[in-house]
Structure 1
């Protein structure tokens, strides 16, 4: 029989473990840890001789105290230190929860992100929170959110169903940015709008005019199930790795495909990398999925000797 003394000991121990886990998840992992997640990817039909080093940052969610301007400056410095060929930003720059002590307005965080530098430039898409946070755009059902205006004001192009042709060492590739797939989801609080997302995958890829490889930026990863093999690489954020990830499994994932696109490298018709992100959404907790900058080196697979 379990004695009262033993019961109290076990209860106290469980409470201590729970408290320490909560303290870690709220106060340490989101604020004090920052890592680089490194991927080596060899898409099919990637041209020989073209090696592209990409740095990707996702889900900044700027706010006090969880993602201060000083913390964003640290992220910028770490990203630049990787010396990538190109930097991409995958959306959700605004705060994604109410557990904060102060907002950081778009011009403030955009001015810090303007410090990102790469030979082939810095390129951005928007996320769902960037749309949801702008109530005037939600009411109208159209328009450029404050996040987009702030990024463009500091010289960072924002792609919404746009494809641009770039080149490295004389070899071309396409960078395609998809409009957000959940842009007007909460607009029902104001009035009905004729659409939920602003994404148009078909129109985006129609702007690719030759056979150079395509890299697709899409905030929500679920579109990967519709992406054709014409795309070599997809880069996404949104899921935060579930924010709680235990032994490679995330209990809650904002994806209709569950853990398939929760985090890391997946393969569909193309290679898909899903970033664990930097900030927090819904609640400021991270356990088992620390904030990260993603580094992806894309190159052709080495030929197998017969």
Structure 2
């Protein structure tokens, strides 16, 4: 018995620094500056003679967790402004957690940082599942204070692009048909902005670009194992990055914040700088 206890003690002494080191690394990664990823997407219906549009895509801010506070969000906004985008698109999940009053208690910290965004074509956003759980009307009010246009199965025209904002599919608020009915009368290149990428297979053929978040690129991705969890019905198909379906490009950002534990491993925060052109 003494030998067994000694062996267990030695094992504990060996494992404890490893576990502590892993925790500290994952916590630091969760608060790191987002990686800037880039893509160029050619879109049909681009108006002749109009120059490309530089769009920044972000999502999953999750304000109110240990990984995201007002100071960190403000620093990220400065990073976005330094990229000089023409437009900023935000794919939902502004609030951390699922408290029905969470937007009221945590959301005010969004306003001052996001208000510093100043792209010439503005900032357009959709809601995510956590926004619906924590008070969608309150989230919309906060974003309006920050001069952000929120689309709920609705459309906004910004320069040469027509943005269809499909509400969150994860909480069953998405209405693709209604959004497309509003989108089709407008001239210009068509894109869809939404929270969960799972709507991709249901989009009609005249949409060539879908921008989404929600997955956190797995948030925890272990060597030889892969993502610890998945939030998509399609498993890894739309987990992360640029995915090319027939006639449709899907870009899924890993997001800025965290849900659940304020940890990331193997899936750093990121944002996308996307050049849209004809």
Q: TM-score, normalised by structure 2?
A: 0.86
CA shift in 2, pair 1:158/1:45, >3 Å: closer
SS in structure 1 at match of 2:130: helix
1:149 corresponds to 2:144 = no
1:257 corresponds to 2:230 = no
Deviation at residue 212 of structure 1 after TM alignment? 2.5
Deviation at residue 75 of structure 1 after TM alignment? 0.9
May I ask how many residue pairs the two structures share in their alignment?
267
Deviation at residue 222 of structure 1 after TM alignment? 0.1
Q: Which residue of 2 aligns with 1:180?
A: 168
Q: Contact 1:240–1:276 at 8 Å: present in 2 too?
A: yes
Take 2:98 and 2:30, find their aligned partners in 1: how far apart are those partners?
Answer: 14
Q: Which residue of 2 aligns with 1:242?
A: 218
Q: Which residue of 2 aligns with 1:129?
A: 130
Task: For residues 93-139 of structure 1, give each alpha carbon's deviation from its aligned partner in whole angstroms, at most 9, with x where no partner exists.
Answer: 111379xxxx96323312321111101111111111011012xxxxx
Take 1:97 and 1:106, find their aligned partners in 2: how far apart are those partners?
Answer: 13
Take 1:36 and 1:96, find their aligned partners in 2: how far apart are those partners?
Answer: 26
1:226 corresponds to 2:202 = yes
Deviation at residue 44 of structure 1 after TM alignment? 6.1
Q: Which residue of 2 aligns with 1:294?
A: 272
Take 2:23 and 2:109, find their aligned partners in 1: how far apart are those partners?
Answer: 30
Q: Which residue of 2 aligns with 1:198?
A: 173
SS in structure 2 at match of 1:207: helix
Q: Which residue of 2 aligns with 1:118?
A: 119
SS in structure 2 at match of 1:259: coil
Unaligned runs of at least 5 residues, structure 1:
135-143, 184-196, 301-306
Deviation at residue 198 of structure 1 after TM alignment? 2.0
Q: What is the aligned-residue RMSD (CA, Å)?
A: 2.6
Unaligned runs of at least 5 residues, structure 2:
none
Task: For residues 1-20 of structure 1, give each alpha carbon's deviation from its aligned partner in whole angstroms, at most 9, with x where no partner exists.
Answer: xx989987666444432331
SS in structure 1 at match of 2:149: coil
Q: Contact 1:97–1:283 at 8 Å: present in 2 too?
A: no
SS in structure 1 at match of 2:227: coil
Deviation at residue 219 of structure 1 after TM alignment? 0.3
Take 1:261 and 1:231, find their aligned partners in 2: how far apart are those partners?
Answer: 17
Q: Which residue of 1 aligns with 2:108?
A: 107
Take 1:284 and 1:275, find their aligned partners in 2: how far apart are those partners?
Answer: 18
Q: How does 1:33-72 map to 2 (within 5 A)?
A: 33-43=33-43, 50-63=51-64, 65-72=66-73
CA shift in 2, pair 1:68/1:29, >3 Å: same
Take 2:76 and 2:105, find their aligned partners in 1: how far apart are those partners?
Answer: 16
Deviation at residue 220 of structure 1 after TM alignment? 0.6
Take 1:77 and 1:90, find their aligned partners in 2: how far apart are those partners?
Answer: 19
Deviation at residue 85 of structure 1 after TM alignment? 1.1
Deviation at residue 57 of structure 1 after TM alignment? 1.4
Q: Contact 1:126–1:158 at 8 Å: present in 2 too?
A: yes
Task: For residues 2-53 of structure 1, give each alpha carbon's deviation from its aligned partner in whole angstroms, at most 9, with x where no partner exists.
Answer: x989987666444432331122112x11123432122233356766764221
